[in-house]
């Protein structure tokens, strides 16, 4: 059964590490879809539309089930299905791309992946027919001699080190959170919580695909992303509370540290420490960075602006700023190669990042937890539309980035 952002997904085995992993690719906002064709500005890109409907039964319709090897853009639109909330592209249980939080009536979204020849499957959990066979023919043309491609590859390598550092710093921050919780220091623990959250929010779209050894891919009890970052809105009753938001609930709603709180903190430390050991095994492609950046901005629109993420502490603006910063870092590592490919698009995205950051600076408040205003009902009523429109203005040019770098 899917649980929103944290639905457990099939993954590939990591052998010596004794766990399972995959890099989940998140995509970009899109306004249209089309059949397979040639992109006018980024080389040959195959295009596939996936439409989710309910006309008495829940259907996941794939516009074509065969494309040539190379970059493929999947555009996903949920027209009327309430049972289907995500779409994944799988090969041998590994995720090559996905879209989540697909509520009926929202704008279409998309992701781009460079695919080699072989058999894949489009997976739509909750559909009457959940798996659709998908074939990729031929081989991917080499771009090794492209100066832009070389720069983009170098950027992906550099970005992987950024992700490693963020997760390592998160471990340190979570350990401090556990220390103050164990000491029964409620006010210090609240500050620790706000200080620890941004590390995960910077990179969450890149590190949410790990399942512990011994667990099925459909079991939230082994999904590290669920165990670290589940929310009240996607609570799996069979697993129960866990992670950051279990701690948040006790600190901010209950207002007391119990033995249960101490166990939540200890489990969180264990899980983020395991994550830190696994993250260095990930191998990023340039389009992964582009898709991940767009995914972080989609997190802003779907979970942060609504106040769903930090339902008890109301530090959603801390998370929101961290999502934007994580997206900016992914873009920054791609920027040298992207400048060679399309200097106009590069400048446009950079300008929109600057405008978004300037807007967020207006919400900074050194007296509030995490350094930003509390995202209470009054703040949401006054500013939610402003933030949403500003982030959308950034998403629009960023939505072209994955195809651009995938065809360098």
The reply to whether 125 and 40 lie within a common domain is yes
pLDDT at position 216: 77
- Domain range for 95: 4-137
**pLDDT tens track for 203-257:** 999 888 788 989 876 788 999 999 999 998 889 999 999 999 999 999 999 999 9
Partners of 89 in the β-ladder = 97, 122
What total of structural domains would you count in the chain? Answer: 2
C-alpha 50/C-alpha 101 separation (Å) is 15
The predicted pLDDT at position 18 comes to: 33
What's the average pLDDT block by block, 10 residues per block, for the chain (408 residues)?
34 32 32 35 80 95 96 96 90 78 88 92 92 93 78 94 95 97 98 96 90 83 94 91 97 98 98 96 93 93 94 97 95 94 95 96 93 96 97 94 90
Model confidence pLDDT, tens digit, residues 6-52 = 333 333 333 323 333 333 333 323 323 333 443 333 458 999 999 99
Structural domain ending residue among the three candidates 109, 137, 165:
137
222 lies in some domain = yes
* Pairwise CA distance, residues 97 & 402, whole Å: 12
Q: What is the pLDDT of residue 260?
A: 98
Which pLDDT does position 209 carry in this prediction?
A: 79
- Which domain CATH number covers 247? 1.20.1420.20
Domain assignment of residue 142, yes or no? no
Query: In this structure, are 284 and 351 located in the same domain?
Result: yes
Query: Which of residues 92, 109, 137 is at a domain's end?
Result: 137
314 within 8 A of 290, measured Cβ to Cβ = no
- What span, in angstroms and rounded, lies between the C-alpha atoms of 406 and 148? 11
C-beta separation of 212 from 219 below 8 A: no
Boundary residue ending a domain (137, 169, 184):
137
What is the structure's pLDDT at 208?
Answer: 82
Cα separation, 91 vs 302, whole angstroms: 28
Q: Are residues 112 and 174 in the same domain?
A: no
Q: Are residues 391 and 345 in the same domain?
A: yes
Q: Is the pTM here over 0.75, yes or no?
A: yes
In this prediction, residue 93 carries a pLDDT of: 64
Helix H or strand E segment including 49 = strand 44-54
Q: Is residue 152 part of a domain?
A: yes
Residues 97 and 26: their CA atoms lie apart, in Å, by 6
pLDDT for res 215: 87
CATH of the domain at 98: 2.60.40.420
Q: H helices of 62-146, where?
A: none
Do 124 and 198 fall into the same domain?
no
Q: Could you tell me if 340 and 263 lie in one domain?
A: yes
Cα 160 to Cα 285: distance, rounded to the nearest angstrom: 10
């Amino acid at each position: 059964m899917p649980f929103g952002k944290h639905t457990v997904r099939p993954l590939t085995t990591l052998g010596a590490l004794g766990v399972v992993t995959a890099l989940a690719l998140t995509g970009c906002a899109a306004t249209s879809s089309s059949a397979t064709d040639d992109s006018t500005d980024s080389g040959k890109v195959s295009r596939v539309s996936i439409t989710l409907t309910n006309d008495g039964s829940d259907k996941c319709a794939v516009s074509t089930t065969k494309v040539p090897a190379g970059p493929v853009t999947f555009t996903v639109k949920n027209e009327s299905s309430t049972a289907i909330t995500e779409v994944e592209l799988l090969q041998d249980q590994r995720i090559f791309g996905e879209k989540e939080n697909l509520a009926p009536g929202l704008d279409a979204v998309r992701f781009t992946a460079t695919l080699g020849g072989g058999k894949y499957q489009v997976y739509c959990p909750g559909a009457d027919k959940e798996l659709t066979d998908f074939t990729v023919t031929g081989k991917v043309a080499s771009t090794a001699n492209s100066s832009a491609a070389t720069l983009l590859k170098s950027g992906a390598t550099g970005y992987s080190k950024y992700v490693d550092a963020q997760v390592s710093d998160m471990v340190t921050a979570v350990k401090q959170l556990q220390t103050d919780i164990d000491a029964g220091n409620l006010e210090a623990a609240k500050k620790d919580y706000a200080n620890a959250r941004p590390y995960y929010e910077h990179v969450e779209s890149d590190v949410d695909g790990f399942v512990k050894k011994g667990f099925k891919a459909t079991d939230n009890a082994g999904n590290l992303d669920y165990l670290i970052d589940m929310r009240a809105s996607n609570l799996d009753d069979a697993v129960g509370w866990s992670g950051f938001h279990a701690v948040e609930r006790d600190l901010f709603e209950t207002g007391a540290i119990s033995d249960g709180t101490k166990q939540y903190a200890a489990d969180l430390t264990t899980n983020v420490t395991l994550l830190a050991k696994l993250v260095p095994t990930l191998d990023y492609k340039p389009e992964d960075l582009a898709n991940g950046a767009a995914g972080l901005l989609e997190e802003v629109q779907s979970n942060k602006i609504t106040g769903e993420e930090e339902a008890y502490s109301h530090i959603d603006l801390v998370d929101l700023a961290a999502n934007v910063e994580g997206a900016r870092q992914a873009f920054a590592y791609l920027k040298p190669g992207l400048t060679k490919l399309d200097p106009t698009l590069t400048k446009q995205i950079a300008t929109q990042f600057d405008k978004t950051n300037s807007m967020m600076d207006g919400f900074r408040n050194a007296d509030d937890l995490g350094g930003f205003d509390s995202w209470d009902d009054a703040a949401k009523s006054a500013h939610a539309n402003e933030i949403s429109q500003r982030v959308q203005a950034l998403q629009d040019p960023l939505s072209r980035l994955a195809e651009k770098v995938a065809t360098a």
